[in-house]
Amino acid sequence: MISYIQGNITSKSPTHVIIESGGLGYHVNISLNTYSKIQEKTQCRLHTYLHLGGGLQGPASISLFGFYEETEREIFMQLLSVSGIGTATVRVILSSMSPEEMQRAIATENVTLLESIKGIGPKTARRMILELKDKIGKQMSAMPAGTGSHNKVKEDALGALVMLGFSRLQAEHSLKKLLAQNNKEWNVEELVKETLRMI
């Protein structure tokens, strides 16, 4: 397993980055949460998870996922262990809320909040709580207490929504509706999260 990758960021979007390390360019899938932490950086270290897919059901595929914080990688792997949840859904979850928010939702059995995420129905939400509540609870108890132009932001948000599986037309409609309702200065992370709640 590749534990982490460190190098220069040669390309960046809300859904993936290309990191040059040792003369190779690695395509690393990321969540919106990680994007928000690295969007101003030109170099970074990402904790990684190598996912092998396909096989009997289709062509084999290899995908590399990166996380700015090791905690997010651990949560990603825990969510992936829940029956019926794949990498695309996990990435939507971690783009809809922060790892801390997701942990709280599971620890407090907030089915309604989990159901509000695209791809998560009542049964899956309850399964997440059933399978992860004890693990999440132990992790939380161990934790210490504690922008570009408007058009660029909109385009980046649109690209992220399309990469997350929404049709361009649906994403554009929802973004337009949200921006018409609220004139605030959005960043990409806020815009995508709020749009995900609307779709």
pLDDT tens per residue, range 37-63: 998 999 999 999 999 886 666 677 899
The pLDDT, as a whole number, for residue 60 is: 76
The pLDDT, as a whole number, for residue 119 is: 86
> Looking at the domain 70-146, which fold is it?
DNA polymerase; domain 1 (1.10.150)
For the chain, the domains span 1-68, 70-146, 150-198
Domain covering 150-198 in this structure, CATH number: 1.10.8.10
7 phi/psi in degrees, rounded to 5: 170, -165
The pLDDT, as a whole number, for residue 145 is: 43
| pLDDT tens profile 60-86 | 789 999 999 998 999 999 999 998 899
The pLDDT, as a whole number, for residue 79 is: 95
25-34, 121-130, 170-179: range with lowest mean pLDDT: 170-179
Options 3.30.160.60, 2.40.50.140, 3.90.1150.10, 2.40.30.10; which CATH number does 1-68 get?
A: 2.40.50.140
Using DSSP's 3-state secondary structure scheme, residue 16 falls into strand
Measured in residues, the chain has a length of 199
| pLDDT tens profile 123-168 | 999 999 999 998 887 666 555 444 345 677 888 888 888 888 888 8
Which tops the pLDDT comparison, 180 or 58?
A: 180
**What's this model's pTM, rounded to 2 decimal places?**
0.74
Q: How far apart are the first and last CA of the chain?
A: 36
